[in-house]
Chains A and B, each alone.
Chain A
Amino acid sequence: MNLLPYTIYLSFAGALLSLVAGKRSAGAARAVALLTAVICTGISLAAAFEFKPTAGLQTLVDLPWIATPAIHYHLAVDGISMTLIVLTGLAATAGILFSWNIEERTGEFFAFYLALIGGVYGVFMSADAFLFFVFYEIAIVPKYFLIANWGSTNREYGAMKLALYSFAGSGLVLAGLLWTYAAGDAASFGLADLTRAALTLPAHDQTIIFALVFFGFATLAGLFPLHTWAPTGHVAAPTGASMLLAGVVMKLGAYGCLRVALPLFPVGFAYWQPAIAWLAVIGIIYAGLVALVQQDFKFVIGYSSVSHMGFVMLGIVAANERAVSGAVLQMFSHGVIAGLLFAVVGRMVYDRTHTRQLDALTAMPLHRMLPCAAFTFVLAGLASMGMPGFSGFPAELTILIGTWQTSPLLGLIAAVGVLVAAAFTLRAIQVSFFGKTGRAGPLGPPDREPEPAARPAAESAIAFPVAPYPPITWPEKLGTMLLLSATVLIGLKPDLLLNWIIPALQSPAFHAVLKGGSL
């Protein structure tokens, strides 16, 4: 436990070191990055074994930092942050394994990458609003460089859009926090002190400040209609960065909503709750439908991320213990699964075939050329649409049950969203890997089931010999194993995480918010 803050410091140190190592050779930079990420993951897993779930935050470090305004260097964890810290470790390690083929400016790539990771670890441990904000911004800026320099389609546009959206969102958060601090005459920027200060504000002010802070964070979480940066950003990003972006960075926004916006302003939350719940549900359905008609493989995954993050936001605003615990579980689950999906699309497929157009992919017998990728994608797709046995199932189920308790109507619509997710995932599996040349996937959507008579399997084997794509490399296999085992483990035993999350939600900070009740 006491080593947990070192994940932050080691990540930043690793960033500097990989910059230096990159000058010598790309391999050295890779080794430094992987070593750093593995050590950090090791630390977080060790801390996880030692972790005793309690209500409320367990302080790791608390040092006075700045005298006026009073700011403490205060790191603390509870079950929610522990879950996300473990996720960060896994996603970071897998992301590095899937970035193994970065040859151009490798040292700089991993420097930005590790700086981002350090910021993310910091956010998940911060118990002081100022510190939280500092780490949050540290996590935002490297994304611009990762995408603009190492990205693909329309990378400069995607990177700039993402950076401006995130920065504008964090501007809203900053305004809200400063307003609370000043108007409530808070003793310090510590979350506990700010909560006390926020309580003294008039209800009208609370409503406005809640909107500032919540929507500021929700921008990064991809809440409809603030999500438009996400698909373009994901598509433009290099694989490793997409994995981080969908895997952990979008979680920063959702985590900010849960950790800062809700506990601080219960009154404001009550006012906005119905509106946000509807936005979340609209996001689930809308992004799912958009994903259904995308031609670019990566856009499918990009929109699916928005749709799945809609579930997270829905779980958070449904505001009962079950729904919120489901939301946190979904953050973990989506972090792992989205990482896998992006890994397959961006690294395994695109880096070999150099196309992401489904039209083009469907003409190749990809499941023969890249059986490993097909295998991974089918499993990840099943996990993504919530098949029992994978982490997506308990997460979405918990959210749906929780939402039902708050509002049956929203629960129903969101359940339709699960069907839409199944539809676009199956379409993607079928069109990309099991295209015209092969048989349809085992669970292909009925309206798109190819005619078996039209495409005999034997003919395709002759017409399309296996193309000389390089086989899936060992770092890719290792990363896949890591993420797949995480999603299966949590799918089979969600209690591992829920036993951390549920006690955390019983902390006094969430009492005023998690009242349940109906919308």
Chain B
Amino acid sequence: MNADYAELFQSLLPETALVCGALFALFFDILWARHHSTDRLRLAVMLGLIGLASAAFLAIDGGSPGPKFGGVLMLDTMTLVSRVGVFALGALTLALLPGTTRLRHSAEFVAIVLFATAGFSLMAAANQLLLGFLALELASLSLYILAGFDKSSPESAEAGLKYYLLGGMSSAFLLFGFSLLYGLTGSIELTHIAMALHQTSMTPLLAIALVMVLVAFGFKAAAAPFHLWAPDVYQGAPAPATALIASASKVAGFTLFIRLLWPGLHDVAGSIASTSAPSGWLTIVAVLSAASLLLGNLGALAQSNVRRLLAYSAIAHTGVMMLGLGVIARAGQGPILYYAITYGLATVGAFGVIAVVDANGGCQRLTDLVGLHKRSPLLAGCLLVFILSLAGVPPLAGFFGKFAIFTAAFQLGSISGPAGWLALLAIAMSAIGLYYYLIILKQALIVQPIDAVTPIKLPIPAALALVIAATLLVLLGVFPSSLLGLF
């Protein structure tokens, strides 16, 4: 490896900006804001947003594409889109904080969000097993803390602990799988691994390694049957933390595993185009997809807690994204990243609305949303856009994401193979999904409150963030080529 540290520095400028932003936020908090408790959160959020904005600028502006630092990092379109996507989702999360959180130590919260985003950004660029694992751990550890951040709430502690224990276990799986891959191929560079696998065929040991890696992936992405942590964490964690866990971490996680699985392990991918095709890790992905679609959608039907409902809906969406992962051979990375980012936008928005309602009298049960259209019409209108996008109603972006993935799935193997069946299953399940999404909207927009309701005073940054997210969903839905055309 020819170590070119200038190149490394250049490639990691966005992450550097984020870490600096986090440190500045903590620094100013200790030095100055401690004595001005009213502006404390606002200052931290502002510094965080500046960090995210400069990171996004550096990511867009920075360096030529290609492998960097001897192939440890890969800068390509996927890295760029994914990085900018997670920065945007992180910024939306931060903008939701003022006025929606009762958390103490707000500067720490902002700093940890930035550390998590730095982890996401590294995950998007990692082209090597070790860096990928470290980036994933940086992001995961930050998210564990965020999930348990609300010290006054036992549910938050439970969420943090559960997330930590199960996440730690999945990291162990991942590391074990990586170590087997290293043992089999003699390298931790994805390019070398790909070359080594090209010459070998499927062995039992390789199969174990793949299963380990995919189990860990299933845990991180909350795919059934490894989804059990998701409802509890979504329910217990502070709403802004949930927004980040549900959105940006999905985008980054899928980017990492797309790079690991497709360029790295594509020789043992197998195929889901037809039943007679050879099996490989795609078979496992297809099983995870089917299980998540079924379990997520059917599980969501029974929920009375809006956060748990959205957690099950997240599992269902993971099922579609797993299918999107399977059809990359046909359609490239465009559809799945489009899906992940637009799903992230809708989820950040939905949890943003929940966060605002939560700060104004709590938001756990579905019935807590009753009368939202009276309490704040803007909030109700934004929720309408987010939920309909999650349900996949055109012209919102959620529809086109599904459309692009299903089209690719049908093209991959028509109706005769697992890809086509999964697409049919997903279409059938979206009809079921509409039911629980409409239940949410019914509570928020239609049911008349019995008692007098208190109007919600929507803080300006949060209002801005929600309106931006909703507008982006409409624009990306009407002009999907603006994002898909990049690939």
- Please give the residue numbers on chain A whose beta carbons come within 8 Å of chain B beta carbons, in ascending order: 65-69, 105, 108, 130, 133-134, 137-138, 141, 144-145, 148-149, 156, 160, 163-164, 167-168, 171, 174-175, 178-179, 181-183, 205
Q: Tell me which residues across on chain B come within 8 A of A181, comparing CB atoms.
A: 407, 410-411
> A182 touching B442 by the CB < 8 A rule?
no
Distance between Cα atoms of A160 and B442 in the complex (Å): 10
If A141-B393, A178-B407, A182-B411 touch, whether A164 touches B427 (CB-CB below 8 Å) is: no
> Are the C-beta atoms of A148 and B410 separated by less than 8 Å?
no
Inter-chain CA distance A160–B420, complex, in Å, is: 29
Chain A residues contacting B395 (CB-CB under 8 Å) are 134, 138
Inside 8 A of B423's CB, which chain A residues have their CB?
175, 178
* Per-residue A-contact encoding for B371-415, CB less than 8 Å = 1, 0 else: 001000000000000001000011100010001101100110011
Best-buried of A68, A164, A183 by chain B (most CB within 10 Å): A68
Question: Is there a chain A Cβ closer than 8 Å to B431's Cβ?
Answer: yes
Interface of B is mostly: helix
In addition to A66-B481, A178-B406, 20 A-B residue pairs with Cβ atoms within 8 Å of each other are A67-B485, A68-B334, A68-B484, A105-B373, A138-B395, A145-B445, A145-B446, A148-B446, A149-B445, A156-B446, A160-B438, A163-B438, A167-B434, A171-B430, A178-B410, A179-B414, A179-B420, A181-B411, A182-B407, A205-B415
Q: Is the CB of A174 within 8 A of B427?
A: yes
Complex CA gap A175/B420 in Å reads 10
A141 touching B388 by the CB < 8 A rule?
yes
- B residues engaging A (CB < 8 A)? 331, 334, 373, 388, 393-395, 399, 403-404, 406-407, 410-411, 414-415, 420, 423-424, 427-428, 430-431, 434-435, 438, 441-442, 445-446, 480-481, 484-485
CA distance A68 to B487 in the complex (A): 11
Asked whether, in the complex, the Cβ of A182 is within 8 Å of the Cβ of B410, the reply is: yes
Q: Are A167 and B424 in contact (CB under 8 A)?
A: no
- B415: which A residues are within 8 A, CB to CB? 179, 183, 205
Listed by A's residue number, 19 A-B pairs whose Cβ atoms lie within 8 Å are: A68-B484, A69-B407, A130-B403, A133-B394, A134-B399, A137-B399, A145-B445, A163-B434, A163-B438, A164-B434, A164-B435, A167-B430, A167-B434, A174-B406, A174-B427, A175-B424, A178-B423, A181-B410, A182-B411
**B contact residues around A145 at 8 Å (CB):** 441, 445-446
Cβ distance A64 to chain B, nearest Cβ, rounded Å: 9
Closest Cβ of chain B: how far from A188's Cβ, in Å?
A: 12
Taken together as a complex, chains A and B put the C-alpha atoms of A98 and B145 apart, in Å, by 57
Shortest CB-to-CB span from B277 to chain A, Å, is 17
Residues of B within 8 A of A130 (CB): 403
Contacts of B430 in A (CB 8 A): 167, 171
Q: How far is the CA of A134 from the CA of B435 in the complex (A)?
A: 19
Interface pair B431/A67, CB less than 8 Å apart = no
Contact B394 A67 (CB under 8 A): no
Instruction: Give the complex CA separation of A193 and B423 in angstroms.
Output: 23
Q: Return chain A residues, CB-CB under 8 Å to B414.
A: 179, 182-183
Determine the chain A residues whose CB is within 8 A of the CB of B438 once the complex forms.
144, 160, 163
- Inter-chain contacts of A134 with B (CB < 8 A): 394-395, 399
Contacts of B442 in A (CB 8 A): 148, 156
Chain B residues whose CB sits within 8 angstroms of the CB of A133 once the complex forms: 394
A105–B424 Cα gap in the complex (Å)?
A: 39
Contact A138 B424 (CB under 8 A): no
Shortest CB distance A364–B (Å): 31
Give the docked Cα–Cα distance between A175 and B481 (Å).
22
Nearest-neighbor residue (CB-CB) of B485 within chain A = A67
Q: Are B435 and A137 in contact (CB under 8 A)?
A: no
**Quick check: A171 and B394 within 8 Å, CB to CB?**
no
CA distance A168 to B438 in the complex (A): 14
Least CB separation from A185: chain B residue: B411
Interchain CA distance A148-B442 in the complex, whole Å: 8
Contact between B445 and A171 (Cβ–Cβ < 8 Å)? Answer: no
The CA of A68 and the CA of B338, in the complex, are separated in Å by 13
Residues of B within 8 A of A164 (CB): 431, 434-435
Q: B6 to chain A: closest CB distance in Å?
A: 38
Q: Which residue of A lies closest to B400 (CB)?
A: A66
Residues of B within 8 A of A178 (CB): 406-407, 410, 423
Complex-state Cα separation, A174 to B424, whole angstroms: 10
Q: How far is the CA of A130 from the CA of B430 in the complex (A)?
A: 17
Whole-angstrom distance between the alpha carbons of A138 and B441 in the complex?
16
**Which of A69, A160, A167, A175 makes the CB contact (< 8 A) with B404?**
A69
Given the complex of chains A and B, what is the CA–CA distance between A137 and B427 in angstroms?
14
A-B complex: 6 closest residue pairs judged by Cβ atoms: A182-B410, A134-B394, A182-B411, A168-B431, A171-B431, A178-B410
In the bound complex, how far is the Cα of B441 from the Cα of A65, in angstroms? 31
Measured between beta carbons, the chain B residues less than 8 angstroms from A148 are: 442, 446
A103 to chain B, nearest CB (A): 14
From A133, A148, A167, residue with most partner B Cβ within 10 Å: A167
* Whole-angstrom distance between the Cβ of A324 and the nearest chain B Cβ: 29
